[in-house]
Structure 1
Amino acid sequence: MSAAYDVVPFSDLLHKPGVTAGRLERVRALRLRRRDAGDLALMRVEQLDAEGAVVDFTSRLLAGLVRRLGASAVQEVLPDALPWVTFLPGADLDRFVTELVAVAQGAASLENLAPLATLLTQWRHTAEIHADPALLALLTREPEGDLGGVEPPGLPGGDE
């Protein structure tokens, strides 16, 4: 295979399904571009299974490294994979590694990488805040004065 994926209009799959699916001989996946909604991906089941096995292996390897060598060993090499972690304070970096291992294992076991992608995005945003002193000061400042009382939220299904 020479490329990761090709981009094709979704209509190609509808009008020429055999030709379009045949392109999977040359690429890992097809990105089906849609005008009215989000793009879709088309890939062979063998490829999907192989990628799932790699994610499962990687999450188990990461968990094993943390158990055997400690989180500090992972923290030392993490900037190679995620350069933005250099902006996380020590306590946040510890929490990130702990969450990363747990969520990676859980996502792999569910065969759903969305929670892992969400975790990485959230922690990247946290690093962005720490990288900008003005933004960090704005978001961590103490509020001035009493902000007043807060009514407790209503119970679900209650009369409001």
Structure 2
Amino acid sequence: MAAPEVTFSELVNRPVDTVKKLHGARALQVRRRDGEDLVLSTASRAAEEAEVTSATTKLFVAMMQKDDRVRTLATEVLPTVFPWVRFLPKPDVQAFVVELMDVLEAAESLGNPAPVAHVIAMWKNTAGVYADPEVLAVLKKRGDDLGEVAAPDSTTA
């Protein structure tokens, strides 16, 4: 279910009434005209979500490390979770699973999901290259290596 929406102006001008809208809702989406939208939630809700995410990640990583069958199953169901992996060669799908597990574990230990989102985005971009025959052909084309690229001159920026 989508979070109820409020405007940033509503939050600023009527903060008590706006926060009351959290009652019975998981969060409020705060729409902004001049920047990225915000999500307003209670601290207890955020702590619960972090705990669930942490426990799920730890459980999944432990299962992957414990049993080859779990790794095989994860590789088989990956297209259900990330349909774009169908464009990746099979060895790359397996590499994605391994990297995803490694980064999930490391990111969980930091309490920071950003590295996981980055890994997923990079593999999705790679799948996008494989999905486009023209782009793939250009990138596979052998050519002369033009050598090291010089750093930009900071005085011209």
Q: TM-score range by the shorter chain?
A: 0.7 to 0.9
- 1:53 matches 2:46: no
Q: Percent identity?
A: 38
Structure 2: distance between partners of 1:50 and 1:118: 24
CA shift, 1:4, in A, is 3.5
Secondary structure of the structure 2 residue equivalent to 1:8 = strand
Residue type matched to 1:18 in 2?
V
Structure 2: distance between partners of 1:75 and 1:121: 18
Give matches, 1:1-160, under 5 Å: 3-70=1-68, 71-143=71-143, 146-150=144-148
In 2, are the aligned partners of 1:31 and 1:39 still within 8 Å (CA)?
A: yes
Q: Which deviations, in whole Å up to 9, do the C-alpha atoms of 1:48-68 show, x marking residues without a partner?
A: 111111211221122122112
| Number of equivalences | 150
Structure 1: distance between partners of 2:58 and 2:15: 38
TM-score calculated relative to the size of structure 1 = 0.83
Aligned pair in 2 of structure 1 residues 83, 28: CA closer, same or farther (>3 Å)? same
CA shift, 1:23, in A, is 0.9
Q: Could you say which structure has the higher strand fraction?
A: 1
Residue type matched to 1:96 in 2?
F
Gaps of 5+ in 2: 152-157
Secondary structure of the structure 2 residue equivalent to 1:14 = helix
What CA RMSD, in Å, does the superposition of the two structures yield over aligned residues? 2.0
Structure 1: distance between partners of 2:98 and 2:29: 34
TM-score calculated relative to the size of structure 2 = 0.85
User: 31-40 or 11-20, which moves further after superposition?
Assistant: 31-40
Structure 2: distance between partners of 1:53 and 1:148: 50
